[in-house]
Structure 1
């Protein structure tokens, strides 16, 4: 019974204190403060209630203050409040669109304009000194919104906002933040504040038709927001697969929205609003944190801040007057802006307000650059008629699920799992990835259904590469693989599969999809993750050893011809250089011709017996022997390889050979190779046969149904590496370039650049080789076939340098010898045969005749000269010059006679039995 009595006593005390305070307030200085609210709106009515509560609470707790606020609440009579009421400050206005006009009036009258709900970033307290914002700037929430979008891996977002200063003010900040994070904004939806419900529904249906994006960020006031979500529910956009994020402006007024609107039209919506820390003051108000309205708390703290500033102001603030302007004409109308005065206390009051600090209901009240700064945001999820906090965000740009333990860095622990639209826990906007269903070459893509045929399993090289790429992405990428096929077969071609992206049935295609120009016109590809090119595979024939003329195969016909000409030319040059000075190169004409051929070809086995005595001949022969050595060694090596190594020869050499004979060719079914064959290689479509598996390739080639199979290089390598196909088939012909396999996305998708960078990272880390070994292994290798596909015969181009060197050496030696011969014979020709001096051709003929003669002055035709000394008498007396000359003539005659005898001995020797003797010619002198 004591407790009820105590409660009654407390109530009586409270009533008495209130009465006393009311009596005392009449004795206090009344400071007039205007309050501008839209009392027809729910936010305005809420704010009025909190403002009245704050006014009462403040002076109940501070009854000793000498000042007291006199609040003049108006709808929109700002000029009247300044001109007629001469208020010292204005709290409000409620809307950002109205704030511009009120702020301008405040600057003219030099009174502080304090707003707790005009949150548009277009209104800057730093640019307008008399404007103070006791709430947060909307731009503070932008980073938190972007982090939420990134946390769920969404790469496309559509903003929906109202066409007012409040709605338009945040969009530039959102766009810049999304662009910096590589999040695409494909469309924007602007809704007029006075739009009818039918107009909103029409815009939403149009948006649903135009874009595949199902992630929306809503930035608008409560009145328009309630109509938007009602129409979104009618449009089927509050179902599974959609996600909605509402900004702070709509989140802070969720509680006044009609419960009929919140259930079911707002089920699964995510919201963001400033975090309200728990405090005794809020508990004393009898409400929970979730039931409080942020604008109401800001309004409450604003009244307290103004009351504290007025109390700190100099004495006499209540009686402070407005300085009237010096105008010749006065007007009694309330809209005459020229007659507004200036407050004497405006500057001082602004300065005091900016430095006011206290612990309010919304948290710590401390203005920075004329406005509050949020310490944290809370993220909530609408479930039924209630809300569930799923996480928080701080200025450090980090998300965490709760305030107790927020140090986890795992992506799946950033936020608690929400309930999404459609009453599902499955995250909306998973990437719908189409996967081709292959019959063959399943090492690249394999789709298998489990026993119950409910959920397929995906594996293969392309899938493994994609999963490795996702691991190095900077953000999560929720996805689901969807098979493009039925009963284990494709239901269309690869082009049809890619067109599913343009029809918005798939968001991407992951598989062995080749990047070609025609496809890039309607989808975007990432960087390739495989090698590129199209070639053909044909049967081989192994009959090299049975060739009757295999010994001619090491050299090509042009190399054989060039080598033979080089032999003949070198023999001819050596003969010219040795003919006048070497008896081995003299004799009858047929003997000399035989010597030319015999000498040069005998050098092939280094069996030449003729000795060379001319230094120019020796120089030519040194170079030529080096050339012969290289030619013989190359021939031996090539012939040995042909006889000992298995040589695989293609059944057909090139594409033209197949076309000329009108053979059939095969290609992989549903691939782009058919277009390459018909459009680029000009094959008749009737000559093309499609195949799907490696077994069909083998059967068609082995039984001669087709002459060749055209396919991409990765498939050909995989085919050749199976069941010893390397010894049966070979890849030949030119490679028709393509860009390899890539992942496909819609045109302009921001994921293309992200995935491409991730592919480069995987390549640099060397993970591709591990993936290939895991999925394909050694099946795609055909070791040794590359050697058998090399050229059979050596060409003249391989030895062009050698032939140039030996030719240059021979020509230079021959030229130098010819010049020396003409120079030595020309004067003698004029002295010995004066009759030829008148005819140039006669001299040439004589030169040719002299060339056929021996050069008796050459070293080989000279005996070792005896030393000739001046003749002396037995008495030691030197003989006369005439006597000496006589001895010299005698010596020369004896030497000539000896040379003749030597020639005759050589001619009649057994080695020269078949050569007729040539009479020596002596000088006429």
Structure 2
């Protein structure tokens, strides 16, 4: 029996060997070209991973009839050699597909050659979005499009509240490819690009430093670096040397550098502490760990495995699968099979190609720290940017842990020149005090307090000085529009004062969000009170008086009837009406015997309570309204009455009055609130037409002898203005404004009481 089994096993072994040899002899070789930069780490790694991928694939798929035969070529890092290599492979070798080239700048011409020859060009490292615009059906990108990472980058920018970003990119197809996409993504989150920094691929160190010094003079402190390692490494070394890897700066690397961080020199990494980076996230699966162990055992000291090696492995696997699945003997439909039928779980994760493009899923956000990086969060299309809970603090350039503001006011060693309008009408808002002996000017007031308080809490020091916009007589040197135009002419860097945000002014300067609400209304004196001794009769109408009297008589008759049994006839009438009357004033002490009478008395007590409360409320309301009633209802009544209206000089209120068709003969200006108050009291002016903050001040100083009437002509309020963006100050002015405004009105109410 054992002999029979042994013979059976022998014949089975021989049969398997025969079929294996037969299958090997019947395989179809398929020539595939490989164009890479063999002197670079990515090129060497890519070729090695392609070889390992094919070896692994055919080891597990020995029954496949096709076998890819590699024909590697060295592009030597330039476009010409890449194009010559492609022509050689297509014309002389007659390859059925090409894996490569390595760089985006090389891919453009090679894709055109593949398109003309109808041969698929498969790249695992050319990431520029501009290659997509070629719309070649024979171009297969087995790597992520650079534009895919921009959503992750803009999510980070939005999460930290940065409003301006400067991209620094290499001046070639790789660098320029993402700029238009980056601009669109930033616009979606209301961020902008004030400047683009373009660096030539072969720029000298001096040219790089000159560009960095130019960036240093700009207010933006958030930079996105998009370039490849050789130039990027030089850039970051120079960034540290010029002092821009310090507090307040934000540096964000794109995938092109972040994924290859392990290939950088330790000295370069040391100069990048606090930099953020974005790269594709690769899940650690058992198969990947096994491959990594195999790789490290053979190549650890030569080159460390990265995402481009994984994509090269998966690209070779995808091509081997597509070649086997091709139903064409000449493999002319390889491109179509790759674009429509490539979907499997590779070393890099889910490897799914749609319309010739590898689809993205998750990006990892890292923070350069120490000798490497730490993951601080992830981005997915479904959930956006998610911070890791176990990472408590990020380390930013300068070894700070608080989030940089991303913006500063560039000083270049000079103080900011802040223009100040001298206010002659309301010095409480802005006042310029001239010291002739020292030839100095001191400014103070509410607007100045807000600006100083904001500047004090900024996380960076900004030197500035106030320069009054006045003539030798101490008066405003022109109008407010003239002052604003001085900022446009760059005679001032900014203006701080009671300046109203208007559309025509915003056309040539930038305003902050308003730090004080505003609007224009008419302030008129309260109507003179007329004393009336009979006013106590007015709260109740004659119908209500009649109803109350009838109720009084009715209740009295009911009590008369109910109590008639217990009293003598002579006392019945007097006692019943007396009982009803006394319940209006106080509780009745007369004894009520009948229970029904007691019930009627209770109802009467409720009626009396309602009547007395209504009377008291109505009388109080009449007395109050009489005190607060304006002397003029609105601006139209003032125009019809022919009375004059006051407005402050140099104010845009004049233009508004003209729009309302107020005759010039009815418009007057006054220099001080005291003169205006006197004019209103003597009847020469009926009211003041001005902005609400000024009216509040005038009303508070006059101890509420005036009131504002509708309508309100809306304006955007007071704001700081500059030829550069000051919007970073807005978040600080919001709560400071509330605090200072309350203190301001308390001060004026005290001033009013002292004046009395």
Tell me, yes or no, whether TM beats 0.5. Answer: yes
The corresponding residue for 1:389 is 375
Displacement of 1:368 after TM fit? Answer: 0.9
Q: Deviations over 1:182-222 (max 9, x none)?
A: 2121111111112112111112212322x211111121112
The corresponding residue for 2:322 is 309
- Counterparts of 1:748 and 1:739 in 2: how far apart (Å)? 22
Structure 1 residues 65 and 138: CA distance shift in structure 2, 3 A? same
Is the aligned partner of 1:44 residue 2:22? no
Unaligned runs of 5+ in 1: 1-20, 318-343, 406-412, 446-457, 468-478, 543-643, 650-666, 677-686, 692-696, 702-709, 763-767, 784-925
Is the aligned partner of 1:744 residue 2:752? no
- Counterparts of 2:48 and 2:284 in 1: how far apart (Å)? 21
The corresponding residue for 2:282 is 276
Structure 1 residues 726 and 199: CA distance shift in structure 2, 3 A? same
Q: Secondary structure at the match of 2:256?
A: helix
Displacement of 1:524 after TM fit? Answer: 2.8
The corresponding residue for 1:239 is 246
On the 8 A contact 1:721/1:779 being kept in 2, the answer is no
Q: Secondary structure at the match of 1:145?
A: helix
Is the aligned partner of 1:531 residue 2:530? no
Is the aligned partner of 1:249 residue 2:248? no
Q: Deviations over 1:396-434 (max 9, x none)?
A: 3611124xx8xxxxxxx9x96421111111222256699
Q: Deviations over 1:448-493 (max 9, x none)?
A: xxxxxxxxxx9999979x99xxxxxxxxxxx83889999xx97978
Equivalent residues in 2 for 1:261-272 (5 A)? 261-264=268-271, 266-272=272-278
On the 8 A contact 2:144/2:360 being kept in 1, the answer is yes
Is the aligned partner of 1:122 residue 2:130? yes
- Counterparts of 1:422 and 1:170 in 2: how far apart (Å)? 29
Q: Deviations over 1:296-323 (max 9, x none)?
A: 11111111112222333459x6xxxxxx
Structure 1 residues 774 and 482: CA distance shift in structure 2, 3 A? farther
Is the aligned partner of 1:365 residue 2:351? yes
Q: Deviations over 1:123-148 (max 9, x none)?
A: 22892111111111122222222221
Q: Secondary structure at the match of 1:250?
A: helix
Displacement of 1:382 after TM fit? Answer: 0.8
Displacement of 1:61 after TM fit? Answer: 3.5
Displacement of 1:273 after TM fit? Answer: 1.2
Structure 1 residues 197 and 490: CA distance shift in structure 2, 3 A? closer
Structure 1 residues 261 and 125: CA distance shift in structure 2, 3 A? same
Q: Deviations over 1:63-91 (max 9, x none)?
A: 44443322111123111111221212110
Is the aligned partner of 1:140 residue 2:118? no
The corresponding residue for 2:620 is none
Displacement of 1:744 after TM fit? Answer: 2.8
On the 8 A contact 1:719/1:725 being kept in 2, the answer is no
- Counterparts of 2:154 and 2:211 in 1: how far apart (Å)? 25
TM-score by length of 2: 0.58
On the 8 A contact 2:339/2:356 being kept in 1, the answer is no
The corresponding residue for 1:355 is 341
Q: Deviations over 1:316-351 (max 9, x none)?
A: x6xxxxxxxxxxxxxxxxxxxxxxxxxx32224642
Query: Which of 450, 458, 471 is residue 480 of structure 1 equivalent to?
Result: 458
Structure 1 residues 463 and 345: CA distance shift in structure 2, 3 A? same
- Counterparts of 1:645 and 1:137 in 2: how far apart (Å)? 74
On the 8 A contact 1:515/1:741 being kept in 2, the answer is yes
Q: Secondary structure at the match of 2:458?
A: strand
Structure 1 residues 482 and 311: CA distance shift in structure 2, 3 A? closer
- Counterparts of 1:313 and 1:716 in 2: how far apart (Å)? 82
Equivalent residues in 2 for 1:546-585 (5 A)? none
Structure 1 residues 395 and 517: CA distance shift in structure 2, 3 A? closer
Displacement of 1:386 after TM fit? Answer: 1.3
Is the aligned partner of 1:173 residue 2:161? no
Displacement of 1:276 after TM fit? Answer: 0.7
Q: Deviations over 1:795-853 (max 9, x none)?
A: xxxxxxxxxxxxxxxxxxxxxxxxxxxxxxxxxxxxxxxxxxxxxxxxxxxxxxxxxxx
On the 8 A contact 1:33/1:91 being kept in 2, the answer is yes
The corresponding residue for 2:597 is none
Query: Which of 424, 427, 448 is residue 400 of structure 2 equivalent to?
Result: 424
Structure 1 residues 294 and 197: CA distance shift in structure 2, 3 A? same
Query: Which of 220, 235, 239 is residue 227 of structure 2 equivalent to?
Result: 220
Q: Secondary structure at the match of 1:380?
A: strand
- Counterparts of 2:29 and 2:340 in 1: how far apart (Å)? 22
On the 8 A contact 1:533/1:740 being kept in 2, the answer is no
Structure 1 residues 432 and 514: CA distance shift in structure 2, 3 A? farther
Is the aligned partner of 1:259 residue 2:266? yes
Unaligned runs of 5+ in 2: 1-19, 75-81, 297-302, 410-415, 431-444, 470-475, 529-625, 632-647, 655-669, 679-687
Is the aligned partner of 1:194 residue 2:202? yes
Structure 1 residues 672 and 83: CA distance shift in structure 2, 3 A? same
Give the number of aligned pairs: 541
Equivalent residues in 2 for 1:393-472 (5 A)? 393-396=379-382, 398-402=384-388, 417-429=393-405
Is the aligned partner of 1:346 residue 2:332? yes
- Counterparts of 2:283 and 2:403 in 1: how far apart (Å)? 30
Structure 1 residues 271 and 672: CA distance shift in structure 2, 3 A? farther
Q: Deviations over 1:123-175 (max 9, x none)?
A: 22892111111111122222222221111111111111111111111111111
The corresponding residue for 1:896 is none
On the 8 A contact 1:126/1:369 being kept in 2, the answer is no
The corresponding residue for 1:69 is 68
TM-score by length of 1: 0.48
The corresponding residue for 1:58 is 57
- Counterparts of 1:442 and 1:149 in 2: how far apart (Å)? 42
- Counterparts of 2:368 and 2:460 in 1: how far apart (Å)? 31
Displacement of 1:721 after TM fit? Answer: 5.2
- Counterparts of 2:371 and 2:48 in 1: how far apart (Å)? 23
Q: Secondary structure at the match of 2:262?
A: coil
- Counterparts of 2:355 and 2:103 in 1: how far apart (Å)? 21
Q: Secondary structure at the match of 1:143?
A: helix
Structure 1 residues 304 and 507: CA distance shift in structure 2, 3 A? farther
The corresponding residue for 1:298 is 311
- Counterparts of 1:137 and 1:87 in 2: how far apart (Å)? 26
Q: Secondary structure at the match of 2:122?
A: strand
Structure 1 residues 306 and 773: CA distance shift in structure 2, 3 A? same
Alignment RMSD: 6.0
Structure 1 residues 422 and 26: CA distance shift in structure 2, 3 A? farther
Structure 1 residues 183 and 769: CA distance shift in structure 2, 3 A? closer
- Counterparts of 2:462 and 2:270 in 1: how far apart (Å)? 38
- Counterparts of 1:442 and 1:385 in 2: how far apart (Å)? 59
- Counterparts of 1:276 and 1:78 in 2: how far apart (Å)? 32
- Counterparts of 1:53 and 1:391 in 2: how far apart (Å)? 32
Structure 1 residues 726 and 50: CA distance shift in structure 2, 3 A? same
Equivalent residues in 2 for 1:709-720 (5 A)? 717-720=695-698
Q: Secondary structure at the match of 1:32?
A: strand
Displacement of 1:23 after TM fit? Answer: 14
Displacement of 1:263 after TM fit? Answer: 0.7
The corresponding residue for 1:81 is 89
Q: Secondary structure at the match of 1:303?
A: helix
